């Protein structure tokens, strides 16, 4: 598959793709970052000053999508640029259509997975770990909260970026089927369930941390937290986002501090 583009070129594109929003602007949004990420591919495909200048101009047009999904479009664009260099007719003309057709759908997928579920979920995990260890015999262990949250988010982020770029280049327009194969919808469902459990754990940690007890018997308090956890699961199913629930827990804990 690697005819003109080499694996090292894709690796450079992958690394540079993390800077896709470094030069974000109101006019063309991520266009400078997108063009910058493609420079290693352009350098490999084109040797003359004129060809390289034309390549850069092609990719300085408007571009905007979710940052983690941008490498998938980069892979398809590199695929088409290589096809053009190898003499395939119409390959160059399809580039803008591909970008325009993929930016919106991938932005929606990325926003849903990363912003609305994965980021809040990892933040809640981090906060729960901090609350769990802050009053323990080893309070320094609380530092693992943000570390684990950071790792969970970025393992998924790095994988989706890598897979998107690789498959985008190898399969071109067939990347749409590959993205479906990522099972991102299934990931969202798992995140919803996991978020409900973690939110339940969080509320079970926050209220005792504030010395708030609703019932004298610990069993009743445990049953209350179980019921709240199931309620969270129901809220997530009707698309109430984890961040809304999390901030509601904090607000309820603060109000309860002055009531109970």
Structure confidence by residue, pLDDT tens digits, 92-125: 888 888 888 889 888 988 888 888 778 878 887 8
pLDDT of 50 > 80? The answer is yes
At residue 12, the pLDDT reads 97
Distance between CA atoms of residues 152 and 144, nearest Å: 12
| 102 touches 77 (CB < 8 A) | no
Question: Mean pLDDT across the chain, nearest whole number?
Answer: 81
At residue 172, the pLDDT reads 78
Determine the average pLDDT of the residues in 66-78. 94
Determine the average pLDDT of the residues in 18-44. 95
| 254 touches 203 (CB < 8 A) | no
> 80 pLDDT band (50/70/90 cuts)?
very high
Distance between CA atoms of residues 53 and 51, nearest Å: 5
pLDDT of 222 > 80? The answer is no
Pick from 258, 213, 239, 229: nearest CA to 124: 229
Range picked from 67-81, 114-128, 204-218, 222-236 for highest mean pLDDT: 67-81
Tell me: the pLDDT tens digits for 175-212? 766 665 555 666 666 666 666 666 666 666 666 655 55
pLDDT of 9 > 90? The answer is yes
Burial class (CB in 10 A: 0-12, 13-18, 19+), 194: middle
Strand locations in the chain (E): none
């Amino acid at each position: 598959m690697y005819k003109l583009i080499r694996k090292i070129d894709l690796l450079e594109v992958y690394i540079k793709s993390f800077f896709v929003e470094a030069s974000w602007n109101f006019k063309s949004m991520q266009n400078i970052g997108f063009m910058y990420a493609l420079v290693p591919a352009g350098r490999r495909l084109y040797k003359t000053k004129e060809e390289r200048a034309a390549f850069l101009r092609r990719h300085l047009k408007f571009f905007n999508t979710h940052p983690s999904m941008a490498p998938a479009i980069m892979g398809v664009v590199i695929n088409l640029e290589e096809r053009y260099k190898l003499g395939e007719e119409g390959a160059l003309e399809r580039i803008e259509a591909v970008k325009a057709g993929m930016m919106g759908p991938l932005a929606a997928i990325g926003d849903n997975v990363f912003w609305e579920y994965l980021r809040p979920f990892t933040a809640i995990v981090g906060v729960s770990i901090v609350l769990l260890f802050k009053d323990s015999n080893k309070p320094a262990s609380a530092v693992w909260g943000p570390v684990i949250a950071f790792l969970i988010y970025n393992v998924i982020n790095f994988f989706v970026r890598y897979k998107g770029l690789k498959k985008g280049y190898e399969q071109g327009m067939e990347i749409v089927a590959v993205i479906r194969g990522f099972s991102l919808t299934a990931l969202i469902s798992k995140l919803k369930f996991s978020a409900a459990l973690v939110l339940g754990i969080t509320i079970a940690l926050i209220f005792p941390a504030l010395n708030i007890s609703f019932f004298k018997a610990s069993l009743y308090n445990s049953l209350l937290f179980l019921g709240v956890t199931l309620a969270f699961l129901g809220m997530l199913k009707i698309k109430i986002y984890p961040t809304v629930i999390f901030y509601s827990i904090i607000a309820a804990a603060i109000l309860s501090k002055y009531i109970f």
